[in-house]
Structures are given as structure tokens and as C-alpha cells.
Chains A and B, each alone.
Chain A
Amino acid sequence: MTATTHEPRPRGLKGLLERGPGGPFDERSWRSPIRGPWLTSVLALVLLVGLLVLIVTGLLSYAAYDPRLGGSNDQTPQAGLLARYVWFDWFTSPSWLYRVNQGVHVLLGIALIPVVLAKLWSVAPKLFEWPPVTSPAQALERLSILLIVGSILFLIVTGTMNVQYDYAWGFSFYTGHFYAAWVFIAAFAAHVALKLPVMLRSLRGTSYWSVDRAATVPEPRDPDHLVSPDPLPASISRRGALGVVGGGSLALLGLSVGQSIDPLRPTALLSPRGQHVGDGPNDFQVNTTFGQIGVDPTETGASWRLLLVGPSGQQVSLRREDLLTMPMRTEELPIACVEGWSTSRAWTGVRLRDLAGLVGGAGSDSVFVESLQRGGAFSTMSLTGKQIRAGKTLLALKVEGVDLSLDHGFPARMIIPAAPGVRNTKWVKALTFGGQA
């Protein structure tokens, strides 16, 4: 198959076109003996399963904001048909739903990074194929490969930077991650459709799993030219290389998983959410501190009022003492951030549906929640009728039996079962109930 490389070579432009510019474009410069369809296919199988989980959890995470409510709920108002799959109101039970969904999305996403990089390494010679174009089919396929590589690296970079508060991109994380995800879905689907048979054929053929280093030799030359024509002696077996990739995944996972599991929190050494936040019942992670929102602490004191507005304009204004005389409920509910970290606490407060009842909003199809916070993408937030009527949705006044700290939303905050953390508006000042569906 490689007979051409040993023939006498024409010179000049014709020679350049046939031979290529050398360097990485010369396939003999790719010398790893373990590159080949089998290694690529094993990595592809892991990614096929893992990336499907990431796509599903990502789409669910988007739906969990109930973007149909508009306003802050919809961070990508131009999405058009791309958001049309959200035809349902987000779930209110089981209460751990978003916690698990987002924990899986972020932790699995981080753990798959070494697998993605290994997969890209395994097919790197294809990037430098010569001649670069041999047919319209191949040209189009190479374009789709640019889309899949660009989008997956973009999703990795924006995802990992976002959980570390590094917003160097000049666009909203939601916008970038959402649209790139759709490009990725498109390119991933096409890639799977075209390459699944190649992967399956390769995995059904000879297995190289049990071959040790001393016996590691290249696979037979393949039609995709992944196998090196001029390999070096093996410095690691294929199984060893896969072990390194898996070890990298485990290292990333092991150093991050504590951000989502309370007893393991101190083990999250590199995840930003492994640290303590003060001590006592209010020692759990904060996103948006009181100091950031530009509000004078006196506004949360005796002068604070909760304004309830009903569907036909009725208004009720309540002091914190008034709320404390209403029937109190205590619910164990998670708080789970889109960034993947989460925890669970016992919250005490008034049911949202009881508050709705005070202004005739028990049957409302939505409620508009406003915070004391000035500005900021999430100082207001809407909830669905389903969330109003869910028995566990609270306007929480206390956590673990003590008053909320200022950072956790004193005097009162929303806490909604199964919803993203950012929907649990803090420092609530007004609830406006909408009409009936």
C-alpha cells in the first residue's frame, strides 16, 4: 500500500504536490507504533457513550431554567428552533434531579477531557494528510471534522473556565456553550453515522488488549493511514497507554468529585468548590455574595418588606415577623449550581403556594421573583405554576435551624426542588403572581 513512498520522486511543483511539503505531511514522520484503528476505536467507544450522556444532561440542564418563561430564565433569546425541544415545564421531583444531572454533566465532562485529547492524538496524522483533498466527499468530511474538533475543544475550554470564574471570552457563557453544543451535536451525529461501522469492524477484529509492551507491534496498514509506516519500537503497550488515559480521568474525577458530595468535600483539592465558607450551619458554598450586589445591609433589616402582588393586582406587604407567624415547613433540599457543585440542607420557611393563596395566586401559571440585588443577570427569575404548587417550594427564612446568613440570602430566599441553584433567588423583595393558564 505504501509503494509510492519508495518510488523515485519527481521534482518541482509536480513533485511537491505528490510528495507533500514534508514535515508532518510526510506520513513517515508519525512514528508511534500503537496508533491505529484499534486504539482509536476503543477511545471512540468510550466517547460515544460518554458524550451521549453529556449531550442529554446538557440539554436537560438548559430545560431546567424553563426558558419558555423568558426574561432571566432564557439566556439565549435568539435560539429559535434550537430551544423548541423544551416543550415541558421542568420537573419538581425527585428533588435531587438537577443535582445529579448537573453533577454528572460537569464531573463526566471533566473526566472525559483526557479521553478526548487521546482520541485527537490518535488521529492526528489525518490532520496532515497529503494530498489534503482527494474527493468532494473527503473535503466535506474534513470540514465536518473541523466542526467536531473545534466545538468539543470550545465546550471543554468554556466549561472548565466557567466553573473557575474565568470569563475571558467576551461573550456570555450561556450563549457560547449553548450554540457550540448544537454545532457539536450536528457534527457528532454525522461523525457517528459515518464512522460507527469502522469502529465496530475494528473492535470486532483482533483485540490488542492483552498484548504487553515487548510484543507491541503496529497493526496492519489501514485504509485511513493511522498506522505508522515507519514505527519506533514500542515504549508502552496499547493497554498501558489506555491505562494512562484512564488514570488521568480518575485523577481529574478524584480531585473534583468532592464538590458534589459533602463528606468528600476536602478531597476536591483543585476544584474551586472544595473549600469551607466560614463555619456553622451557613458553611456551604455561595454563588454571589452579599458584598457583590450593591445593597446596603440596612435594607435587609427592620425596614425590609416582602411584597406580594396577585394576578388581579391585590397587594400584601409582609414583615419578616409576619412570615414567621405563618405555617412553617422544613424540607431537606439540595442546592446545585450549573457549575456542578452541590450540597443539601434543611431549609425552613413558608410554602410558596401559601404565599400565593394570600393574594389569590394559588392557580397562577407563573410567578416573577425579584431580588434586592441591583443589576446582575439573575436578580429576577420566574417560576412555573408547577413550581408554585410543588409542596416543597419554600420561601426559606432559615437553614439548619438558624437564620440565613446575608451571603445565603437573608432575610428570605427561594428554594425550589430539583431546580438549578441560580433559580433560588436570594434577598427576595417581591413576588408577582401571573394569570391562570
Chain B
Amino acid sequence: MSRTSADDTRVTGGPFRRLYGASPWHLVALLACFALTAYAVSRLLEDLPVLLRIALWFVGAALVWDLVVGPALALADRLLRRLLGRRAGERQRLRVPALNYVRIPGLVSLLLLAVWLPVILQRSEQVFRSKAGLSQDPFLGRWVAITLVLFAASAVAYVVAVLRSRRRPSS
């Protein structure tokens, strides 16, 4: 396997560095990290099913983010660019790109959905009713309303930006 030039510049110095690829302190820091992790895991070995479920959520969270959510967002952004790019081509006179006025409220709305997904989808209505004496009914409607407000505010900001750019003499 070929090394990248960056690695080549890093791997200089004594024999330890040439073998390991970094300074001894690098190894010390990581071994300390793994030792503490191993100790934490060892405390849970007595309750193996719980440990396995925790491990599943631990690894699952990283995989879902890296291989599902991240690529899905990137793809959505690419589609949005293509869609808006074509529209912009049709109407060259618009000097303010609409892209950010769509993706920023969209991103914030998705963020709120992701964080408050359980109450918005009423995933725990029964538990919430018996523990807190409250219902999760209002949250879906509130999230939709907040989303509409975000997009409306963004649309107003877009119109203002377009009007301003028209008033300004073109450079």
C-alpha cells in the first residue's frame, strides 16, 4: 500500500516512530482511553444482554448517522441544487440564489423533527400519559406550524434580498 505524502512527512524520527507511526505519547493517550473503556465494558459483563443492547445502540447510532442520515442529507442537497439550478437557468435575471432560502429552514425543521421525534410521532403517548398526566397530541401540529413559520420567514427574507439586489446598480 502506498503512503500518502502527509504520512511520509509524519513518519520520521526514531525507530519507535517509524514502527508505530507517531510519538510514544500518542500510544499512551490511546491506551489510557482503551483501558478506561475496557473497564467500563467489564463492569457490564455480568449482565450480558444489557451490554449487547447498549453495544447495538452504540454502534447503530454511529452507523445510522454515517451511512444513512449523512448520505441522505447529501443526496437531498444535491437534488435541491439541481432543481433550483435549473430554475435559475430559466430566469437568469434573478441574481439572488434561492438555494439557502430553502435549505436553511428545511435543515432547521429537520433538526427539530429529529430531536423531538418521539413526542412529534407520539411514540410514547401511553407512558407519557401515565407518568406525566399529559398528552403528546399537540406536538405534531406545533412542529408543522413552526416549519411553516420558518419557510415563511425565509420567503420574506428572500423577497427582501431580491428587491435589494435590484435596487443596487449591477456591478
A: residues with CB less than 8 A from B are: 1, 3-4, 17-18, 78-82, 110, 113-114, 117, 120-121, 124, 127, 131, 134-138, 140-141, 143-144, 146-147, 149-151, 153-154, 156-158, 160-161, 164-172, 175-176, 179-180, 182-183, 185-187, 189-190, 193-194, 223-225, 235-236, 240, 244, 247-248, 251-252, 255, 269-273, 275, 277, 285-289, 291-292, 407
Contacts and interface: CB of A to CB of B under 8 A. Distances in A.
A186 B36 contact: yes
Nearest to A252: B115
Q: Top 8 A-B pairs ranked by shortest CB distance?
A: A135-B21, A137-B21, A166-B118, A137-B22, A153-B61, A190-B33, A186-B36, A164-B118
A160 B30 contact: no
A265 to B, nearest CB: 13
Interface of B: 1-7, 9-11, 19-22, 25-27, 29-30, 32-37, 39-41, 43-44, 46-47, 49-50, 53-54, 57-59, 61-62, 65-66, 70, 81, 97, 99-100, 104, 107-108, 111-112, 115-116, 118-120, 123-124, 127-128, 130-134, 136, 138-139, 142-143, 146
B23 to A, nearest CB: 9
27 contacts: A1-B4, A80-B43, A120-B65, A140-B30, A154-B58, A154-B61, A158-B57, A160-B116, A164-B116, A164-B118, A170-B49, A176-B57, A179-B43, A180-B54, A182-B37, A182-B40, A183-B36, A183-B37, A189-B29, A193-B25, A223-B10, A247-B108, A248-B111, A269-B142, A273-B132, A289-B132, A292-B130
B4 A194 contact: no
Contacts of B7: 134-135, 138
Contact of B40 (A117, A138, A179): A179
Contacts of B143: 270
Majority DSSP secondary structure for residues of B touching A:
helix
Contacts of B134: 272, 275, 277
Contacts of A134: 1, 3-4, 7, 21
Contacts of B21: 134-138
B58 A186 contact: no
B112 A270 contact: yes
Contacts of A140: 27, 30, 34
Given A124-B66, A170-B50, 15 more contacts: A110-B115, A141-B22, A144-B34, A150-B59, A154-B61, A164-B116, A182-B37, A186-B32, A187-B33, A240-B100, A252-B111, A270-B139, A285-B132, A287-B131, A291-B130
Contacts of B27: 137, 140
A277 B124 contact: no
Contacts of B146: 255, 269-270
B124 A166 contact: yes
Given A137-B21, A179-B44, A187-B37, A165 B128 contact: yes
Contacts of A407: 133
B118 A161 contact: yes
A82 B39 contact: yes
A258 to B, nearest CB: 13
Task: Count chain A CB atoms within 10 A of each CB in B50, B61, B112 and give the residue with the most.
Answer: B61
A137 B26 CA distance: 7
Contacts, number: 231
Contacts of A166: 118, 123-124, 127
A186 B32 CA distance: 8
B117 to A, nearest CB: 8
B58 to A, nearest CB: 5
Nearest to B84: A235
B133 A277 contact: yes
A176 B33 contact: no
Contacts of A248: 107-108, 111
Contacts of A291: 130, 133
Given A179-B44, A285-B132, A150 B138 contact: no
B37 A186 contact: yes
Nearest to B127: A165
Contacts of B29: 189-190, 193-194
A255 B26 CA distance: 42
B43 A79 contact: yes
Contacts of A187: 33, 37
Nearest to A341: B132
Given A114-B111, A136-B21, A146-B62, A170 B43 contact: no
Contacts of B115: 110, 113, 160, 252, 270
A189 B40 CA distance: 15
B13 to A, nearest CB: 12
B65 A4 contact: no
Contacts of B44: 78, 175, 179
Contacts of A138: 7, 21-22
A175 B50 contact: yes
Nearest to A127: B66
Task: Count chain A CB atoms within 10 A of each CB in B19, B57, B111, B132 and give the residue with the most.
Answer: B132
Task: Count chain B CB atoms within 10 A of each CB in A157, A171, A285 and give the residue with the most.
Answer: A171
Given A147-B33, A150-B62, A289 B40 contact: no
B20 A137 contact: yes
A180 B58 contact: yes
Given A272-B136, A292-B131, A164 B124 contact: yes
A272 B2 contact: no
